[in-house]
Amino acid sequence: MVEPPGFCRFLKPDLKRWGLALVSSHRTLFAVLWIAVFASVFLWQDNFPGGPVFRWPSDVKVSSAPERPIPRLRAAAFNLTDFGAVGDGVTLNTEAFERAVAVIGKLGHRGGGQLNVPPGRWLTAPFNLTSHMTLFLAEGAVILGIEDEKYWPLMPPLPSYGYGREHRGPRYGSLIHGQNLRDVTITGHNGTINGQGQVWWKRYRQKLLNHTRGPLVQIMWSSDIVLSNVTLQDSPFWTFHPYDCKNVTVKNVTILNPIFEAPNTDGIDPDIIISGLRAGVSRFGGESVSY
């Protein structure tokens, strides 16, 4: 039997349309089933012991390394924040340091005290240490010297300078200072004492200073001094200056001053050390380490 021409003409388009409809329905069914399975997994995991198995990227929390615990090296220990300090790099914390040192100064008969400087940027003007004291800089702690020279006290010139190192007459004091002390330790988990010396170097080159620049850390007429496991950076002048001291130990200290454009930023300048200087600098960048 011969089929009418019209049937042949419409057969192929109908088969094509039916095939597309069939495939489309299967895809739709598959998509619905996939969504249902996916949703059921997330509904199930909400009640899964120990919490969800799958998480959206926004739910994933990156855990930071825990802070290293600060060892207790003295009978009494204090945190700088106990005295109102704020480590934002802007707040001036000189009074907080001074209050802490005053409290520790009363504990000499009990073995002294430890001042812990936690992570943060602690801006301060120069301050003095006291006997039987440990200044501990935690990892990530930075003591910043204020750049404004009006906050830096003036001191008499030292005999070893003659009338003055850069100018006759008084000189600027150090950021961290001590006189007539015994049993003092500056240590930590490689925290940093940063003198922000750039402004001092620039003023010195431009001849805008009327007095000799001050060291970063200076201890005078003292004994049993330990400087260890800290970084000293960008000193205005000499970095560590022990003057007329006994039993000074420097170990595992990193000193970072630019080789150029940072005049007279010597690493260690022992001045009239009577006995017992033991020094070990782990890393040094700067003008010199003087002995």
Residue 223 lies in a domain: yes
Write down the pLDDT at residue 212. 92
Query: Counting every residue, how long is the chain?
Result: 291
pLDDT tens track for 266-275: 999 888 766 6
pLDDT tens track for 125-161: 999 999 999 999 999 999 999 999 999 999 988 876 6
49 vs 163, residue with greater confidence: 163
Residues 268, 240 contacting (CB under 8 angstroms): yes
Q: 226: which 2 tokens?
A: 């330990």
Do 188 and 90 reside in the same domain of the chain? Answer: yes
Do 24 and 151 reside in the same domain of the chain? Answer: no
Residue 67 lies in a domain: no
Write down the pLDDT at residue 288. 47
Tell me the C-alpha distance between 78 and 183, whole Å. 18
Residue 64 lies in a domain: no
Write down the pLDDT at residue 290. 42
Do 175 and 222 reside in the same domain of the chain? Answer: yes
Residue 71 lies in a domain: no
Q: 210: which 2 tokens?
A: 């009327």
Supply angle C-alpha 240, 155, 188, rounded to 5.
30
Looking at the structure of the chain, the number of domains it has is 2
Tell me the C-alpha distance between 148 and 164, whole Å. 21
Residues 251, 280 contacting (CB under 8 angstroms): yes
Do 35 and 114 reside in the same domain of the chain? Answer: no
Is pLDDT of 56 > 50? no
Residue 36 lies in a domain: yes
Do 136 and 50 reside in the same domain of the chain? Answer: no
Residues 196, 233 contacting (CB under 8 angstroms): no
User: Which of residues 32, 59, 86 is at a domain's end?
Assistant: 59
What value does the mean pLDDT take over residues 165-174?
A: 87
CATH number at residue 263: 2.160.20.10
pLDDT tens track for 58-80: 444 444 567 789 999 999 999 99
Residue 68 lies in a domain: no
Among 10-19, 175-184, 222-231, which is the least confidently predicted range? Answer: 10-19
Q: How confident is the model at residue 10 (pLDDT cuts 50, 70, 90)?
A: very low
Do 255 and 182 reside in the same domain of the chain? Answer: yes
Domain of residue 24, residue span: 5-59
Write down the pLDDT at residue 248. 94
Q: Is the dihedral of CA 263, 284, 127, 195 positive or negative?
A: positive
Among 111-115, 146-150, 279-283, which is the least confidently predicted range? Answer: 279-283
Write down the pLDDT at residue 39. 58
Is pLDDT of 198 > 60? yes
Do 20 and 131 reside in the same domain of the chain? Answer: no
Q: 197: which 2 tokens?
A: 């010396």
Do 55 and 86 reside in the same domain of the chain? Answer: no
Write down the pLDDT at residue 148. 96
Write down the pLDDT at residue 275. 62
Residue 171 lies in a domain: yes
Is pLDDT of 285 > 80? no
208 vs 159, residue with greater confidence: 208
Write down the pLDDT at residue 146. 98
How far is it between the farthest Cα atoms of the chain? 131
Supply angle C-alpha 160, 164, 167, rounded to 5.
160
Do 174 and 252 reside in the same domain of the chain? Answer: yes
Is pLDDT of 259 > 80? yes
Residue 134 lies in a domain: yes
Do 18 and 159 reside in the same domain of the chain? Answer: no
Do 32 and 152 reside in the same domain of the chain? Answer: no
Do 112 and 140 reside in the same domain of the chain? Answer: yes
